[in-house]
Amino acid sequence: MKKIEIHTFSELIAQGKTPEILFWVGCAGSFDERAKKITKAFANILNQANVSFAVLGSEEGCTGDPAKRAGNEFLFQMQALTNIEVLNGYNIKKIVTTCPHCFNTLKNEYPELGGNYDVIHHTQFIKSLLNDGRITIKGGSFKGKRITFHDPCYLGRANNVYEAPRDVLKKLDIELSEMKSCKQKGLCCGAGGAQMFKESENGEKEINVKRTEEALETKPDIIAAGCPFCNTMLSDGIKNKKKEDEIEVLDIAELINQASDL
């Protein structure tokens, strides 16, 4: 992040400034090498749109999503309450995140523990930036490309956010080709429910390979994702099919960062 101007909430509060939004980075966006590229792309979009934002830095902990999905409610509540104490301490009202797992947990599960925030997924926020003219798109290298979008479970079926990512993609002047299992009938990439962190169970085929096969049926140039976990699973699926030299898996933030007038 050295080349991107980014501040922590504690820095700005000490300067008497109150950021417009908190960018919740999440575990993947903070530590996974591939997901860090998504973090950088979105942070660059925010800077170029002159959005006043900050991160929590070392004060940000895991939302507790993996613990909760794995059945450890006690650990989840410990992690959640620690985060809520920090968020409420800074009087944070608006949170944007690139991770649907964080989005779902912060939005739907923190309120009952005392954490009430306006939580927005980054595809929704990018759409608002485009609609308000705070960033513009020139088409770039993606114009005319055939792209299919994979619906993250915790963005789509869990929160009914289907159109925002598609509306953003359409701004790229691309050909959007839907998979046979999409939107309300979308198929999981295989990472949700803490499955990302455990060994595979017996079955005929890895779920991420099955989902990748559905994506390949659309004959895409690019598979677009809106979740760092989905990005990893689909990228692994593409490698399994030995298509990594032909097809890219990119987050919507990366697509917009590359195509917009930034």
User: Across residues 217-224, what is the average pLDDT?
Assistant: 97
Question: What 3-state DSSP class applies to 133?
Answer: coil
User: Across residues 146-157, what is the average pLDDT?
Assistant: 97
Distance CA 255, CA 141 (A): 10
Q: What is the DSSP letter of 62?
A: -
The reported pLDDT for the residue numbered 141 is: 77
pLDDT: which is higher, 62 or 201: 62
Q: Per-residue pLDDT tens for 68-112?
A: 999 999 999 999 999 999 999 999 999 999 999 999 999 999 999
| Residue in the block written with tokens 């429910």 | 193
The pLDDT-based confidence of 138 (bands split at 50, 70, 90) is confident
| Residue in the block written with tokens 């088409």 | 139
Residues constituting the chain: 262
Q: At what angle do helices 252-259 and 122-131 cross, to 10 degrees?
A: 30
Classify domain 9-127 by CATH number.
3.40.50.1860
- Yes or no: say if 29 and 98 are a contact pair by the CB < 8 Å rule: yes
The pLDDT-based confidence of 5 (bands split at 50, 70, 90) is confident
User: What is the pTM assigned to this prediction?
Assistant: 0.94
Question: What 3-state DSSP class applies to 36?
Answer: helix
Q: Where in the chain is the domain with CATH 3.40.50.1860?
A: 9-127
Q: At what angle do helices 228-240 and 33-48 cross, to 10 degrees?
A: 130
- Yes or no: say if 156 and 225 are a contact pair by the CB < 8 Å rule: no
- Yes or no: say if 139 and 157 are a contact pair by the CB < 8 Å rule: no
Closest C-alpha to 227, from 105, 98, 125, 120: 98
State what percent of residues in the chain have pLDDT above 70.
95
Classify domain 136-259 by CATH number.
3.40.50
Asked whether residue 24 carries a pLDDT value surpassing 80, the answer given is yes
